[in-house]
Amino acid sequence: MSTAGVDLVVIGGGINGTAIARDAALRGLSVVLVEAEDLASGTSGWSSRLIHGGLRYLEYLEFGLVRESLAERRRLLAGAPHLVRPLSLLIPLAPRGRRPAWMIRAGLHLYDLLARDPSLPRHRTVDAAEIRERLGGGASGAPSRAALYHDAQVTWAERLVIENALDAAAAGAAIRTRTRIAAPWTRDHRLQGIELDTGERIAARRVVNAAGPWVDAVLSGRDEAALLGGTRGAHLVLDAPDPAPTSALYAEAEDGRPVFVIPWAGQLLVGTTDVAHEGDPREVEVTPAERDYLLAVVARFWPSLGTPASIAHAYSGVRPLPAHGSGASSARVTRRHHLHAHGGALAGLYSVVGGKLTTARALAEEVVDRVVADAGVRAGPCLTRERPLPGGVAVDGDASSLPGVDEATGTRLRSIYGARAARIAERLATGGAYAVTVCPHGGGTMAEFTFALEEEWATTVADFVYRRSMLGLGPDFGLAAARRCLAWAAVHLDWPAEACDRQWAQCLRLAELRLARARHHCDADWRAALD
């Protein structure tokens, strides 16, 4: 069975795929995006959650990439202020470090010059007293001198993906999750579109493979050379000291690789590693060696935190970097994205290699420019440069002010949904089942659950808990919320008991994985909190 033809099919529902679909749809192209699982269920949700210019890229003379990244940082701060916020970072100035103080200062001067961003302060040197204050409690290993500079953080990277998809859909794109591609569809040695594993075919003028670390898997069986040389990025989430740090720390590991310790969602996010990875990108764990590597950095500055007992949970993802020789250092592999245009029977198919949260919009503009030029389709200009994301549209009143909603709930809703929080407040105002609280730790209501199901492509409780409401990043990994939502859905939505049992098992598995990846055992004590 074939569907009517479209201008563009995008494969992959991560930050790159949704940004491409958004740009193309806003230019007037007919677009279908297909994602095998859920939006933001891959690499986009397993990042360091930084929106940054890439200070360390200056060391490799990637001036163009840094300039582009800094311009995109400015756009995200302006266009998604509910999700992307300024973040101050400290870099120790050690007289005999691998990177001497003069080199760090020179790099920061150049960083400020390339940024040309009046919305963020320029860097400055800070003394020991200010450093200790900014690093919070237990920082007995704080340096005596440091440079303070600013980048940005996206606390909920998953929501950044969702909002790109929302804007794409508002412009006419069809967003199809749980839709697995079987292969590119060719006929008479010419690309026709894609074929799904159900046998359905979608005809398209052009196809963009933005499947992240699964780019090569989409092309399997086509005698195509491998495009990716993926590397694993491990992250630890630690219980924050009291008082908690107010600035992030940009430190060096023993091998000279930068490691960040970042205040995040009331905890500390530590990352990352850069280790070659082979195999299924979903089967990736934080190894004991990676855990100890990251903890060693923490221990230098917070001795009491540098032990496995401080780890709340952990996660790891695979970067879709370009293929590189086995002897090449992954640290030196460019972080600039690359668009590979296939030839022969696959002419008209493009594969995206690389990309970052920060530069996804710029990548999308480049990809759509190429598609429009090669396909000869009529399209309008790129509209995404100054266009806010749906939740970033300016709203009147205090950031936490929502009619009929208390201040704490309003603050939380605004920080996740931005301007779209008013839609949830309307549901809450009707009371009844919508007003039922689903999470004893982070709030959340049935109004949000139904909103995610009806307006944000959530099809399971895991979609809602981990990638819509962000309740899954709380102390119980969203399990209390998941159980309450499933009980509610069984009564009010007629979800079958078997389906609810499967979804509960899925949520348990996700929670157990995050604990196991942290400590390499599954501590069952946390389950008692659910009873």
- In order of 195, 282, 399, the CA distances from 49 in angstroms are 34, 19, 22
Q: Is the peptide bond before 334 cis (omega within 30 degrees of 0)?
A: no
Nearest in space to 168 (alpha carbons), one of 37, 31, 35: 31
Helix (H, G, I), strand (E, B) or coil at 207: strand
**pLDDT for residue 97:** 66
- In order of 174, 360, 424, 425, 463, the CA distances from 459 in angstroms are 16, 26, 18, 22, 7
- The boundaries of every CATH 3.30.9.10 domain in the chain are 83-151+231-319
- In order of 30, 38, 419, 424, 490, the CA distances from 444 in angstroms are 35, 21, 17, 11, 19
Tokens linked to 211: 């499947």
Nearest in space to 413 (alpha carbons), one of 447, 387, 441: 447
**pLDDT for residue 520:** 39
CATH superfamily placement of domain 2-43+158-226+334-375: FAD/NAD(P)-binding domain (3.50.50.60)
- The boundaries of every CATH 3.50.50.60 domain in the chain are 2-43+158-226+334-375
Q: Does the predicted TM-score (pTM) go above 0.85?
A: yes
pLDDT in tens, 358-392: 999 999 999 999 999 999 999 999 999 999 999 99
Find out whether 290 and 249 touch, Cβ atoms under 8 Å: no
Give the residue ranges of the chain where pLDDT is below 50: 1, 328, 519-531
Tokens linked to 463: 């979609």
Find out whether 104 and 94 touch, Cβ atoms under 8 Å: no
CATH fold of 83-151+231-319, please?
D-Amino Acid Oxidase; Chain A, domain 2 (3.30.9)
Q: At 339, give phi and psi (nearest 5°).
A: -105, 115
